[in-house]
Structure 1
Amino acid sequence: MDKREITKAYQSQKQYFNHQTVASVPERIKLLKVLKQNIKQKEEDIIAALDEDFKKPEFETLTTELLVVYKEINLFIKNLKKWQKPERVSSDLINFPSSDKIFHVPWGNILVISPWNYPFQLAITPLIGAIATGNTVILKPSEYAPKTAQILEILISEVFKPEVCQVIQGDAETADYLLDLKWDFVFFTGSVNVGKIVSQKIAKNMTPHCLELGGKNPCIVDKTAKINTSVKRILWGKFLNAGQTCIAPDYLLVHENILNEFIESLQKNLHEFYGKDAKESENYARIISQKHFERLVGLLENQNIISGGKYADNELFIEPTLVLNPDLESKLMKEEIFGPILPIISYKNEEDLEKISLKNDKPLALYVFSENRTFQDKMIQKYDFGGGVINDTVVHFVNDKLPFGGVGKSGVGNYHGKHSFNVFTRQKSVVNRKTYLDVPIKYPPYNKTVLFKKLLKFFR
């Protein structure tokens, strides 16, 4: 789509929102039900598209893409009517008599830019919240997952009128042009570096936004951790989607007392997960593009690889790889990895943990494996992060009662469930003053100062 067509689509939605009454709650719920039905009909196509884009295993598509989307749609269908009701709050005595309410209203025309790593779920989930709350939406999916982007375009065009919601395909230049337009709200999911660019571009219009980014997520393993269980949960969270997950453990900090046993368990369980040759496994995805593949291979240079390390350029395959005690100043430990490479660093005490973890910005996630309640609490309270889990990884994402988002460079704002409703609406306050009584103290001439000073005593 060229710039002229993009501008036309943008203006069409802008005019529609400005000149039309926002669709009623029943109408929006009906749209969500149609969307859900169309997704159900296209399940096999979605699975096939993700397989073509980067060989995502069917089970991972069912669980991390479709299940999450269905949960979000069902939650909005069930609760939208209740959430949308104006919230009555108590009146202030100064305004007596009055009734005060908070209305939840849509922002207007929203731009959603979605990433390639979970290209269906991370496009549709925010779109559900945006549409359910009465906004119009232009969705820009990632060009790195073209088959999924095509499915998204077909799906959206079959469910929504273009002036309500449509997909615009394109590369970084298209995204750049879209961000130059004046939106009422922008929702972006992607890397920290691109997130900075998005933030700078929309700042000129002071556009409200939600940025879901990433970071180097620490995974701390205390000497009291149950080794085999911890290993399985860490490997699952790390190598899910071939490590291309923003909340995957980025590196392990393992207490020196259990390091050798822990490494043995890591190697043993990797073999059980993916067999002798992960390239032949149906349970392991590929790297999304040549660009990302080459960056990851570069991170392995001059590292102490203790398991894995093989790769195949022609298949964009990188074996699940363990690296022991990397140089903390290397690119591997400076950049978010976002791939199937897991550095393991041994530590002696909490001072070591602090020296290593505080080298990086506040992460999107933090994981702690320990049977020591005091240690658990100390780690959770000491470090700042978006969301965390004790004795597991990644699973906080699936609880729609928890807000999902980052802090600092790992993100701005949060969503999921009711939190999606909150992020895609703004609060509008209304005080309805009654006319059967009008206290004259506020009107000029101000000859009631002595009386007001007496009243002021109640507030001091």
Structure 2
Amino acid sequence: MSGKGKKSSGQQLKPEPEAQTNPYADTLKRLRDAFNSGRTQPAEFRVSQLRGLSRFLKENRKLLLDTLAQDLNKPTFEADISEIVLCESEIRLALKNLDAWMKDERVEKNLATQLDSAFIRKEPYGVTLIIAPWNYPLNLLLVPLVGAVAAGNCVVLKPSEMSKGMEKVIAEVLPQYLDKNCFATVLGGPEEATILLKNKFDYIFFTGSPRVGQIVMAAASKYLTPLTLELGGKNPCYVDDNCDPQNVANRVAWFRFFNAGQTCVAPDYILCSRETQEKLLPALQRAVTQFYGKDPQSSPDLARIINNKHFHRLCGLLGNGRAAIGGQSDEQERYIAPTVLVDVKETDPVMQEEIFGPILPILNVQSVEEAIAFIRKREKPLALYAFSNDSKVVNKVLDETSSGSFGGNNGFMFMTITSMPFGGIGHSGMGQYHGKFTFDTFSHLRGCILCSPRLEIINKIRYPPYSPGRQRLLVWLLEHKLGLPCSIL
């Protein structure tokens, strides 16, 4: 699972910290020296570190589940599926395919280069930085780490200080399974993260809010550091009149209230007609009761809000429109009931920011065309959903909108498919990862051509003095391909 929204990765960064020293200089030098020594390059080293990550998950499974329960009251089911199992899947995929991923990739050549060897080499960037948020504090740290390790990089990990228990586990337990010369963990909050970002990295991978993403991007620009930004946004969910209200309610409720709504790809609001709303509300109430009982607060399957700051922010949003379902809260437990808001206006605060909690507003539209127009005039979302019994309606929404990912009659199950890329577009982020896409993200694709030092006579066509005949011949050679593998090297 992924999540950004109001989580801000726990990094409420200050653009200009009052730091006169660089406490991370020695750590970064140690990692850079290790990388420059070639230590991380061999496949054997990468495999050993990936196996170390696998042992970390297996040997500390109970500790990780207990810690996630401590930080977010995550049900074991949700924590296991969204945090541990998905990480294990990424590691298995990398171990199975590492040799193939690392191999030079031969490319098609034109006739002018048929006697040369042309290929793409996958090179690690060097010393990389991964900044993770608090809502899926294990998944959103380890999944990028798997790709960075597989690609042969050294890595600095910055877990969120807001998920205090998991931050401690990452700092104290994870290093026992990795090469300490090649990996390091930096702790702390906004001040420490801001100072850390003043250092030069070869690649930065950030998961967090768009606001903090702008600060990270500004810091990266000082050194022209390439980066991936996994950000958030308001994910629309269109529900067509032609649908089964209960099926839609079951699916939307699970995806919306999973992890108490603290998921960046959760449906953030519903667009539907008033007639469909009237059918959907009782179906959503039945789904909430079926999932969490008549008293959701006592359910062991509903997570809690990360801290008091986010709890109070969400309580402020409960006053928007009218709570047709839920609306209750308990500050002592940081509990907010699964809530559905109706009579919401586009200008209400709940529609101006990513909610990142168990609150689902419904806005009314009269047609799929009106829904598409509403979606298109806002920032491109990280995910977009459409529900209809008519495949033409689902495909119309898909064809006429843009988003990081799309789910037709489904929620964020695309997050479990390692063969698909995941990432935002525009305001919701840049860059992609998951599976081989993470390996590619942390690899520089180096175009290479190797030529013979002999056979200079072949090259004479390129040299002055130029002539129209030589020009025509060279153009023809550049535009045509033989289609046969040929190399003199």
Q: TM-score, normalised by structure 2?
A: 0.91
Larger RCO: 1 or 2 (CA < 8 Å, sep 6+): 2
Structure-1 residue corresponding to 2:24 = 6
Structure-2 residue corresponding to 1:361 = 379
Cα distance in 1 for partners of 2:21, 2:181 equals 17
Structure-2 residue corresponding to 1:451 = 470
Structure-1 residue corresponding to 2:242 = 224
Structure-2 residue corresponding to 1:289 = 307
What is the Cα deviation at residue 455 of structure 1?
A: 4.5
Relative to structure 1, the CA distance from residue 454 to residue 54 in structure 2 (aligned partners, 3 Å threshold; closer, same or farther) is closer
Question: Deviations for 1:314-339, whole angstroms, at most 9, x for unmatched residues?
Answer: 11111111100311101101111010
Cα distance in 1 for partners of 2:227, 2:466 equals 48
Structure-2 residue corresponding to 1:214 = 232
Relative to structure 1, the CA distance from residue 3 to residue 52 in structure 2 (aligned partners, 3 Å threshold; closer, same or farther) is farther
What is the Cα deviation at residue 99 of structure 1?
A: 0.9
* Matched residue count: 459
Relative to structure 1, the CA distance from residue 285 to residue 88 in structure 2 (aligned partners, 3 Å threshold; closer, same or farther) is same
Cα distance in 1 for partners of 2:245, 2:138 equals 34
Is 1:52 matched up with 2:48?
Answer: no
Relative to structure 1, the CA distance from residue 198 to residue 269 in structure 2 (aligned partners, 3 Å threshold; closer, same or farther) is same
Cα distance in 2 for partners of 1:21, 1:34 equals 16
**2:403 aligned to which of 385, 388, 391:** 385
Contact 1:113 1:188 in 2 (8 A): yes
What is the Cα deviation at residue 303 of structure 1?
A: 2.5
Structure-1 residue corresponding to 2:296 = 278
Structure-2 residue corresponding to 1:331 = 349
Aligned residue identity for 1:327: K
Is 1:133 matched up with 2:151?
Answer: yes
**1:246 aligned to which of 248, 260, 264:** 264
**1:352 aligned to which of 370, 384, 390:** 370
What is the Cα deviation at residue 447 of structure 1?
A: 5.1
SS in 2 for 1:415: coil
Cα distance in 1 for partners of 2:466, 2:139 equals 64
Greater shift in the superposed pair: 195-204 or 347-356: 347-356
Structure-2 residue corresponding to 1:267 = 285
Greater shift in the superposed pair: 346-355 or 296-305: 346-355
Cα distance in 2 for partners of 1:74, 1:13 equals 26
Contact 1:90 1:99 in 2 (8 A): no
Cα distance in 2 for partners of 1:404, 1:440 equals 45
Cα distance in 1 for partners of 2:275, 2:283 equals 14
Cα distance in 1 for partners of 2:62, 2:474 equals 70
- Unaligned runs of 5+ residues in structure 1 are none
Aligned residue identity for 2:170: L
Question: Deviations for 1:111-140, whole angstroms, at most 9, x for unmatched residues?
Answer: 000000000111111011101111000000
Cα distance in 2 for partners of 1:238, 1:39 equals 27
Question: Deviations for 1:338-385, whole angstroms, at most 9, x for unmatched residues?
Answer: 101000122211343134323420000000101112111110011110
Greater shift in the superposed pair: 405-414 or 11-20: 11-20
Relative to structure 1, the CA distance from residue 301 to residue 257 in structure 2 (aligned partners, 3 Å threshold; closer, same or farther) is closer
Aligned residue identity for 1:451: R
Structure-2 residue corresponding to 1:155 = 173
SS in 2 for 1:68: helix
Contact 1:28 1:134 in 2 (8 A): yes
Contact 1:130 1:424 in 2 (8 A): yes
SS in 1 for 2:24: helix
Cα RMSD, aligned residues only: 1.7
Contact 1:160 1:166 in 2 (8 A): no
Contact 2:39 2:45 in 1 (8 A): no
What is the Cα deviation at residue 149 of structure 1?
A: 1.0
Structure 1's consecutive aligned runs of 4 or more residues displaced over 6 angstroms after TM superposition are: none
Structure-2 residue corresponding to 1:39 = 57
Cα distance in 2 for partners of 1:273, 1:228 equals 13
What is the Cα deviation at residue 19 of structure 1?
A: 3.1
Contact 1:13 1:109 in 2 (8 A): yes
SS in 2 for 1:414: coil
What is the Cα deviation at residue 199 of structure 1?
A: 1.1
Structure-1 residue corresponding to 2:138 = 120
SS in 2 for 1:309: coil
- Unaligned runs of 5+ residues in structure 2 are 1-19, 480-489
Question: Deviations for 1:379-422, whole angstroms, at most 9, x for unmatched residues?
Answer: 00111100011101111111001100000010100000010111
What is the Cα deviation at residue 92 of structure 1?
A: 2.8
What is the Cα deviation at residue 304 of structure 1?
A: 0.9
SS in 2 for 1:112: strand
What is the Cα deviation at residue 448 of structure 1?
A: 4.1
Question: Deviations for 1:90-112, whole angstroms, at most 9, x for unmatched residues?
Answer: 33322342111110000100000
Structure-2 residue corresponding to 1:398 = 416
Identity %: 35
Is 1:18 matched up with 2:36?
Answer: yes
Is 1:103 matched up with 2:132?
Answer: no
Aligned residue identity for 1:310: Q
Structure-1 residue corresponding to 2:388 = 370
Cα distance in 2 for partners of 1:252, 1:37 equals 42
Is 1:189 matched up with 2:207?
Answer: yes
